[in-house]
Structure 1
Amino acid sequence: MELRKLQKIVVDALEDIKAQDIEVINVTKLTSLFDRVIIASGSSNRQTRALANNVQEKVKEAGGEVLSTEGEESGEWVLVDLGDIVVHLMQPAVREYYNLEELWSTTPTRRGKLIAANEAAARE
């Protein structure tokens, strides 16, 4: 399936279930394993599981393939591997703690700049 089409299907599926703070990150320059990381928040375990289930259903309906899913038992962080796209569905506290946006971003985020400034100040 064409990448843009798959990305649209995933984002639409997330919006259908009212995902919060949907981020699409192009990681083609960072890894050859996949092209996009999509991160979204759900307000509860039930919602993150529902988001993952909806993504899987919509991708399959469109003829795409779901390679694997992990984390559905707890629902705090559910990962859906679609090959070219990896979807992370997280509760807000888990998302803030792991801060995947900064990990996968090609440009430093404001938070990253603040951390670097604090580390530099601590060395002085």
Structure 2
Amino acid sequence: MQKDLLELTLSTLNDMKANAVNNMNVGALTKVSDYMIFSTGNSSRHIRSIADKIADNVKKEGHSIVGIEGYERSQWVLIDLGNIIVHIMLAETREFYKLEDLWSQDFREEAPEQ
């Protein structure tokens, strides 16, 4: 079921022409989510359209949405699908926060041995 939701979300991002889609399996790094998907929209209107389409498709397929944040300003919309977190951002916002770097192996610090 999670794989279906992941495929549905990625397909919707592709259909809506989201740019630079990056699907990261972060399940081994956090308990918050198994996957984080990062994508870029061309404008605030484009970001809202992508978010609306994801929400519509997810609901049509019988999945639930935990929450949507940032929709009003639409520089960065976060859609919480439970085990999948979708980030849709303007290019400038994505570049400023560089969230993907936080989940990259190269940027993780190992906990000291005790």
TM > 0.5 fold call: yes
**Letter paired with 2:93:** V
Which runs of structure 2 are paired with 1:1-124 in the superposition (5 Å)? 2-105=1-104, 107-108=105-106
Q: Distance in 1 between matches of 2:102 and 2:53?
A: 26
SS in 2 for 1:22: strand
- Structure number having the greater helix percentage: 1
Q: Give 1 or 2 for the bigger CA radius of gyration.
A: 1
Q: CA deviation at 1:4?
A: 1.2
Give the % identical residues: 37
SS in 2 for 1:53: helix
SS in 1 for 2:27: coil
Runs of 4+ in 1 over 3 A off after TM superposition: none
**Letter paired with 1:97:** F
TM-score where L is the length of structure 1: 0.83
What root-mean-square deviation, in Å, do the aligned CA atoms of Structure 1 and Structure 2 show? 1.0
Long gaps (5+) in structure 2? 108-114
Q: CA deviation at 1:34?
A: 1.1
